[in-house]
Amino acid sequence: MTEKIEELLRRVEEFKPQAAAEIEEFRIRMLGKKGELNALMEEFRTVAPELKRELGQQLNRLKTAATERIAALREQMQNTAEEHAASEEDLTRPGSADELGSRHPISLVKNQIVEVFSRLGYTVADGPEIEDDWHVFSALNFPPEHPARDMQDTFFVEKNPDILLRTHTSSIQVRTMERQKPPIRVICPGRVFRNEAISYRAHCIFHQIEGLYIDEGVSFADMKQSLLYFAKEIFGEEARIRMRPSYFPFTEPSAEVDVSCNLCGGKGCAVCKGTGWLEIMGCGMVDPNVLKANNIDPEIYSGFAFGMGIERIAMLKYGVKDLRLYFENDVRFLHQFDQAL
C-alpha cells in the first residue's frame, strides 16, 4: 500500500495540464467519490492495526499534496489566461468615455433644504412609511370625522383601519416627541402616499419635508424669520414671503406661506398666474392638544411646525411644469440636472 501511495504522490507532482478541463478531470480521478484516494481509504480499513498510524499519515500527506497542487494549478492557469487577454489589448485604441450619472432633482432639492435648516441647528429625523393611526392622525389632533381619514385619501394596509401608508411626514414629528424631551429641533424628509389621481400636478407618491421646533418661549415671529431665511437661501436674496391664514388640525394659528415669484420678480406672470406669489408650504404654532398627546406640557413649552412638498419646491426652482417627470426616469429629463450637483 505504501508503494501505491508513493506512486500517486509522484503522479501528483509530475502532473502538468494544458487546459483547465484537464485539471478538473485530474481532480475527479484523484479525489472524487470513485477516485484513487477513496479506493486507498477502503483498502486502509483492512490493514493491520499496528500499520494504521503510519499509513494514515501517508494518506493524509497524499490528500494534502493533491489538494494544494490542484489549487496551485488552477490559480496558475487563471493568471496565464488574464495575462494573455491583457497582452491582446490594443493600448493605442481610443478610450470610451463612460457617462457619469447625477443625483435626481428631488434628491438635489431635499439635500439643499436639509443643508439650509442644518445651519439653524436642525437635525434630520426619520420614521417608517407604514404607520398606524395614532402617529399619522390621532396624536396630531385629527378628529375621528376628519376627511383625511377617508379611504379616498389614505392607503390602508390589508383593509386594517389602523395600519396605513403615511400621508405626511408629521408622523416622524410624533415619534420624535415621544422619545425626546424638549428642546426639539428636527427636519423630517421622506416619501408619503395619498390616494389621488395621477396628473401633471398630482401623484399618489410624493416627497415631503417637515420641520418641528419646540422649546420654551418659541413664538410666531421665530417661525416667520426662520422661513424667510429659508426662502432667501433657496430662491435668492431678493425673495420675499407672505403668510395667509389657514387651518391645519395640528397647528393653531396656522398659515400658508407664499414666496415672491422668482421668474417675474413679483410683477406677475403665467407661472404665478399674475399674482406675483407662489405657494410653497404650510406652517403654524403647534396646537397645545398635540403637545399634551405627546406628554409635553403646553404651559411650559411652545413650538412651531412647517411642511412642504419637495416636488413643489423643485418645480419652482427648476421650472418643471409636469410632476410626472420626476417618476418616469426619462434620461433626457434627468440629464438636465448633471450640472446641478
Residue-wise pLDDT for 35-89, tens only, equals 787 777 777 777 777 777 887 787 788 788 888 888 888 888 887 777 666 666 6
pLDDT at residue number 132: 92
Q: What percentage of residues in the chain have a pLDDT greater than 90?
A: 43
pLDDT at residue number 151: 61
pLDDT at 152 over 70: no
pLDDT at residue number 40: 77
pLDDT at residue number 187: 96
Cell of 217: 418661549
Work out the widest C-alpha separation in the chain, in whole angstroms. 107
Read off the pLDDT band of 319 (50, 70, 90). confident
Read off the pLDDT band of 5 (50, 70, 90). confident
pLDDT at residue number 86: 63
Return d(Cα 282, Cα 256) in angstroms, integer: 4
Poorest-pLDDT segment among 115-124, 301-310, 324-333 = 324-333
Higher pLDDT, residue 138 or 50: 138
Q: What is the DSSP letter of 16?
A: -
pLDDT at residue number 254: 96
Return d(Cα 129, Cα 190) in angstroms, integer: 8
Return d(Cα 283, Cα 244) in angstroms, integer: 10
pLDDT at 100 over 80: no
Place of cell 470610451: 96
CB 122 within 8 A of CB 186: yes
CB 31 within 8 A of CB 68: no
pLDDT at residue number 115: 95
Region 19-35 average pLDDT: 81
Read off the pLDDT band of 96 (50, 70, 90). confident
pLDDT at residue number 89: 67
pLDDT at 94 over 60: yes
Poorest-pLDDT segment among 33-37, 126-130, 253-257 = 33-37
pLDDT at residue number 229: 96
Q: For residue 207, what are the CA distances in angstroms to 125, 167, 204, 243?
A: 15, 10, 10, 23
Tens-digit pLDDT profile for residues 153-175: 888 887 777 899 999 999 999 99
Tens-digit pLDDT profile for residues 261-316: 877 766 777 667 788 898 999 999 999 999 999 999 999 999 999 999 999 898 88
What average pLDDT is seen over the chain?
86
pLDDT at residue number 318: 85
Selection from 14-18, 143-147, 189-193, 316-320 with the highest mean pLDDT: 189-193
pLDDT at 21 over 90: no
pLDDT at 130 over 70: yes
Residue 15 class from Cβ within 10 Å (0-12 exposed, 13-18 middle, 19+ buried)? Answer: middle
**What domains are defined for the chain?**
2-87 (no CATH), 105-340 (3.30.930.10)
pLDDT at 210 over 60: yes
